[in-house]
Amino acid sequence: MTRRRLLLLAPLGATVLAGGAFFAMLVRMTQGKFDPRGVPSMIIDKPVPPFDLPDESGAKLTNADLATGRPVLVNFFASWCEPCVEEAPVLMQMKQRGVPIYGIAYKDKPNATLGFLRGHGNPYARIAMDEPGRVAIDWGLYGVPESYLIDGQGIVRWRYVGPLTADVATTQVAGLMRKFA
Amino acid sequence: MRALALALFLLAGPAFAISDPSEMLPDPKQEARAEQIGSQLRCLVCQNESIENSGADLARDLRKIVRQRVVAGDSDRQIVDWMVARYGNFVRLRPPFDATTALLWGSPLIALLAAGGIVMAGRQRRDEAAPRALDSAEQAKLRTLLEQ
Amino acid sequence: MIPELGHFALALAVAFAFAQGIVPLWGAYRRDARLMNAAPAIAIGQLMALVVSYACLVWSALVDDFSVLNIAENSHSLKPLLYKITGTWGDHEGSTLLWCLILAGCGGAIALFGRKLPGSLRARVIGVLGATACGFELFALTASDPFTRVWPPPLDGRDMNPLLQDPGLAFHPPILYVGYVGFAVPFAFAVAALLEGRVDAAWGRWVRPWALGAWCFLTGGIALGSWWAYYELGWGGYWFWDPVENASLLPWLTGTALLHSAIVVEKREALKTWTVLLAIGTFSLSLSGTFLVRSGILNSVHSFANDPARGVFILVLLGLVIGGSLLLFAFRAPAMTGSGLFAPISREGALVLNNILLCSITAVVLTGTTYPLFADLLLNTKLSVGAPFFNATVFPLAIPVFAAMALGPMLSWKRAALWPAFRRLWWALLVALAAEMFVVLKMHALPAMAFGCAAWIICGALADVVDRARLFRVPLHDSFGRLRGMPRAAFGTTIGHAGLGVTIAGIAGMSLAVQSIVLVKPGETVHLAGYDWTLEGVRDAAGSNYSARVATIDVRRNGKLVTVLEPSLRTFPVQQMTTTEAAIETNGLRDLYAVIGGEREGSAVLRLHDNPLAPWIWFGALIMATGGMISLADRRLRIGAPARRAVPAIAARA
C-alpha cells in the first residue's frame, strides 16, 4: 500500500469513522442515552447547595433539613408549569408508598402554589418557597419540573429532568431509595 | 416529548429578547463588561443564544446575577467559574482550553499543517517523477542518433 | 384525489430515477450509444413527475385541504396566500420534496443544456444524478411522505410558525436548496470522470459553469438567511455560528475552493486530485448538513421535527453516496496525473494556497460544529462551542485569504515574480492603508484590520481590470477597446472578489454599531448616534392571522425628519406566539433599526440601533452572486471554446 494510496483512502476512512459515530449517536438517542440538549448536573455526589428559604407556613427550611438519615426526593415545581400537572399523580403515588418528598416552589407566588396543591394534591412533607429562583440556579436548574434524590447524609445522588413518570418512579426511584437507605 | 421540546422553544419566543432597560447597570463601563461576559455564556433554555440575547426567564435571572457580581467586584474569570460550578462547561460558549479540547483549539494549526504537508508531499513526488537530466553516456548516444 | 396523484407522481419519479441511475451508466460501460442517449429523456421524465408531485402539494395547500396531514399541521385557512404556497417547503416533508424536485431539476438541466458534452460523460453524469435522486426520492416516499392523509380532517390547520411567515424566510429555502443541491452536478461530474478514468482540461471547463451556478445560489441563500435573522430576530445580529448556519457555510467554503481549483484543471491540467475531491466533498458536506439538521443530532434553533429514526435512513443513504464516491476516488485517483508543473510562486501556487486556506477554515468550522457531539459520545463530557470559538479561530485563517485575493489574479501562470505583481497593486495598498488609518482609532483591532483588508480586496479587484485595460498607460481609446474585448469572466472575477470585500467592510462597520434600550412614553425623545428618536405613539393593527401593536417613531437629525420607523409586535392566536418585526431604514451606508418590546403602564420598551455599513453585508453578497452570474455569461464557458479576441495584442494572462 503506497503512501499515496493511503492518503487517498484517508477521506473515506474519516467518513466511515464519522458515520459510525453518528450511527451510535442516533441509536443512543432513541434509547434516551444521548441528548444533545441535555445539561449535566454539577452537584451529583456533592452536598446539597446551602440554602435558607421560608416554607409554606413561614418557618425556615434549610439544606440541613434535607439530611434526615434516610434518602429523600426533592422536587422543583411551579403552579404555572404544565408538565408539573402531569407529574402530580405520580408524586402522590410515591408519597403513598412512603417516599419522603420535599418540594421547592420555583418562581411562584405562595398563594398560587397553595392553590395548585389544593387542586392536584400535596405530596410534599414540606415546601420551600424559592420565589426569586436563586436557589434553583445554585442547584443548576434549567427548567421545571426537576427532581433530585438526596441520600441520608445530604449528598445529591441523582437528578431527573422533566415530569416523573410512573415508570421512572417504580424502576429508578424505588431502586435508588433502597440503594441509599 | 417532541411536542414538549417544540413547546419550550415556542414559549421563549424572540419577542421578549428585547430585555428591560431597567436591567442595565447605570455605569456604562460596567454594563459593557457585563454584556461581554454574558455574551460568552450559553442560555440553557434557548440553547443557541447567549444569555444576553435570549428572552428566557432563566437568561434574565442569569443576566441579573452577572451584573450583581460585576458590581460586587468579581473578576471575569470568577463570574464564569461561578456559572460553570452550577451548569458545567456546557454554559461556556467559548470552550475551555484543556486536554479534552486540545484538538478543538488546535484544529486551525493542525488543518494548515496537514494540508500544507500533503501539498509538499505531492510536489516532492512530482519532482521525483520528473525526468532527470541525461548523463554523459546517454548524451553521447543522443548525439549519434541525431547525426544519423 | 390530488394528494393521491401527487403521491403516485412521486412513486413514478422514483421509478424514473431508478432507470436514470441504471440505464445510462450501463450504457456507458458497454459503450452502447442507444442506452446512453436515452439518458436525457429519462431525466426529463423524472423531472416532470416531480413537478406534478410538488404541484399537487401546492394545490392542496392553496385549497386548504386539511385532510392532508402535512397541510393540517402547517397551514391555516387564514394564512396569507403567499405563505400558503411558500409554506409547502417550511416543514420537513415539504422541504424534502423540494430537495428531490431540485435534484431532478439538475438531471433535467444536464439533459437540456449539456448537449455539447461527449455522450459517455453526459450519460454518466445523468446516471449518477439519477442514482442519487433515487435514494432521496425513496426516502421521501417511504419516510417523509407529504401526502399522508388524516381522517377525520380537522376543521382548520395548526398554522405555521409565525417566524416563517415572512417574505425573507419564504424565499430562503428554495434559493438555498438550489445551491445545496446544485452542487450535485459537479459531484456527478467528478464521479463520472472517475468512472471514465479521465480528468482533463475539457472536464474542468465543463464542470465550472455548474459549480458557479450552484455557488451563486448558495451565496444568495446564505445571505438571505442572514438578512432575515437580522431584521426578524430583533437584536441586530446576523450570524451566530449556529450549527445549521455552519452546515450551510461548509459547502460554500469548499464550493469556492472548487470554483478556483477547477480553473487550474482547465488552464493547466493540474490540481486534478484536489478538484475532484472538492467536488465530491462539497456535495457531501451539503448532504451531511441536511442529515445533521433533520436527525435532531445538532442542537440548533432551526429544529425541524427531529426524528432519529429518519436520521438512520438518511445516514445509510449518505453512507452509500459519500462512501461510494470516496471509495471510487481512492481507487481511481492515482490514474489522474497532472501534467502541469508550476513554481510555488505562480497563479497555480496562489490557487493551491487558496485551497489550503479554505479547506483549513472548513476543517475548523466542521470540527467546532461537531466537537460537542463527539465529546459527548466519546469522552462523556458536555461542551459548548459557540461564536467566541469560531471568531477566534476562523479570522486568523481568513486574513491570509483576503491578502492573497488581490495578489493572486496578478500572478502569471507557471512561474511568477512577486515584486512585479505588487507593483501593479501599489495604489491598492495605499488605499488600504489609508482606510486602515481612517478607522483604526474608532474600531477595535480585528475589525479595523478587516476593514483594511476589505479596501485591499476591492482595490485589488479593480486593479486587475485597470491593469488589463492598461489604463493611463495607453491612450484612453485603446483602454476602452481592451475593456470591451475583455472576457466576461474577467469582469466576473473582479466583481465577485469586490463583492466579498464589500461584505467584509460591512461586517467591520457593524462592530461600530451603537444601541440603546429604553423605556419611553409617547412624546419622549431618545438621543442616539446623532439622531433624535421620538416615540409618537403605539397603536393597534391587524393582519389576516395576527393582531399587532405598532409603534411610530420619528427620527430626526438637527430638527429635520429623516424617517418614520414603525416596528411592531405581532401576536398569532393559533400558534400562540409573538414575533417582533423590526423597522429598518437604510440609506445605503447605515441602517437605522428599531424594535418594540413589551409595554408597561403606558410606556414602551424600545430597542434602537444605528448600524454603520450594515447594508453592505448583504449588498456585498448580492455583488458576489452577480459576479458569478456574469462569469456564467462568458461565451467561452457556454460554447466550450475560447472566444475570438477583439484585440489580439492582449497577452493571454487569462
pLDDT tens digits, residue range C304-316?
A: 656 777 888 889 9
* pLDDT computed for residue A56 by the predictor: 84
Q: Chain B: residue nearest C379 by CA?
A: B100
Query: What is the 8-class DSSP label of residue C514?
Result: E
Q: Output the pLDDT for position B18.
A: 56
Average pLDDT over residues C122-131: 94
Using an 8 Å Cβ cutoff, are C406 and C428 in contact? yes
Give me the residue from C291, C323, C373 closest to A15, CB to CB: C323
Indicate the residue type of C332: R
Is the model's pLDDT at B9 over the cut of 50?
Answer: no
Angle at C299 between CA C296 and CA C300, to 5 degrees: 100
pLDDT of residue C647: 42
Q: Tell me, what's the ipTM?
A: 0.87
For C413-462, what is each residue's pLDDT tens digit? 888 888 888 888 888 999 999 998 988 888 888 889 999 999 999 999 99
Contact C38, C24 (CB under 8 A): yes
Buried b / exposed e along C136-174 (16+ C-beta atoms within 10 A): bbbbbbebbbbbeeeeebeeebebbbbbbbbeebbbbbb
Q: State how far residue A139 is from chain C, nearest Cα, in angstroms.
A: 17
- Which one-letter amino acid corresponds to residue A126? R
Contacts of C194 in chain A (CB under 8 A): none
Q: Which of C353, C383, C579 to mutate to test the interface with B (most CBs of B within 10 A)?
A: C383
Tell which of A8, A30, A35 to mutate to test the C interface (max C CBs under 10 Å).
A8
Q: Is the per-residue pLDDT at B55 higher than 50?
A: yes
**Cβ-defined contact of A142 to B65 (cutoff 8 Å):** no
C318: contact with A, CB 8 A cutoff: yes
Chain segment C167-195, per-residue pLDDT in tens: 887 889 999 999 999 999 999 999 999 99
pLDDT tens profile C583-600: 999 888 999 999 998 888
User: What pLDDT does residue C648 have?
Assistant: 44
Which of A139, A142, A164 to substitute to test the interface with B, most B CBs within 10 Å? A142
Q: What is the pLDDT of residue A1?
A: 60
As given in the structure block, the three cell numbers for residue C122 are 453526459
Looking at mean pLDDT, say which of A9-18, C285-294, C484-493 comes out highest: A9-18
Q: How confident is the model over A60-92, as pLDDT tens digits?
A: 999 898 888 899 999 999 999 999 999 999 999
Q: Is residue C151's pLDDT more than 60?
A: yes
| Lookup result for grid cell 501593479 | C424
pLDDT for residue B130: 64
Q: Which of A111-120, B111-120, C234-243 has the lowest mean pLDDT?
A: C234-243
Q: How far lies C99's CA from each of C51, C129, C263, C299, in Å?
A: 12, 13, 29, 22
Q: Mean pLDDT over all residues of chain C?
A: 89
Residue B8 has pLDDT above 50, yes or no: no
Strands (E) located in A18-145: 52-54, 60-62, 72-77, 101-106, 126-130
Strand order in the sheet with A156-161: A126-130, A101-106, A72-77, A146-150, A156-161
Contact of C298 with chain A, judged by CB distance below 8 Å, is answered with yes
Task: Report residue C418 as a C-alpha cell.
Answer: 512577486
Residue B12: the pLDDT is 33
Band the pLDDT of C641: cuts 50, 70, 90.
very low
A118/chain B closest Cα distance in angstroms: 26
Of A3, A7, A40, which has the smallest distance from its Cβ to B88's Cβ? Answer: A40
pLDDT average, residue stretch A118-143: 92
Give the count of Cβ contacts less than 8 A between chain A and C: 74
d(C-alpha A177, C-alpha A174), whole Å: 5
With b meaning 16 or more CB within 10 Å and e meaning fewer, what string describes C505-515?
bbbbbbbbbee
Per-residue model confidence (pLDDT) at position C456: 95
- Residues C291 and C284: their CA atoms lie apart, in Å, by 10
Cβ atoms within 10 A of the Cβ of C31, count? Answer: 10
Task: Tell me what pLDDT residue B5 has.
Answer: 34
Across the beta sheet with C514-520, the strand order is C514-520, C603-612, C590-600, C583-586
* Contact assignment for B57 to A143 by CB distance below 8 Å: no
| Residues of chain C contacting A4 with CB distance shorter than 8 Å | 334
Query: To the nearest whole angstrom, how far is the Cα of A49 from the nearest Cα of chain B?
Result: 10
Model confidence over C523-554: pLDDT tens digits? 999 999 889 999 999 999 998 888 999 999 99
Out of C10-14, C334-338, C593-597, least confident range = C334-338
Chain C's closest residue to B24, CA to CA, is C517
Average pLDDT, chain A: 90
Statement: residue C389 has pLDDT above 90: yes
How far apart are alpha carbons C486 and C489 in whole angstroms? Answer: 8
pLDDT for C301 equals 66
pLDDT(B122) > 90: no
Q: Are C157 and C217 in contact (CB under 8 A)?
A: no
Backbone angle region of C469, left / alpha / beta, with phi > 0 → left and psi within -120 to 50 → alpha: alpha
DSSP-assigned letters across all residues of C37-79: HTHHHHHHHHHHHHHHHHHHHHHHHHTT-TTBHHHHHH--TTS
- The reported pTM is 0.90
pLDDT band at B132 (very low <50, low <70, confident <90, very high): low
Q: What is the pLDDT of residues C37-78, one digit of tens each?
A: 899 999 999 999 999 999 999 999 999 888 888 888 888 888
In whole angstroms, give the CA distance from residue B110 to residue C76: 51
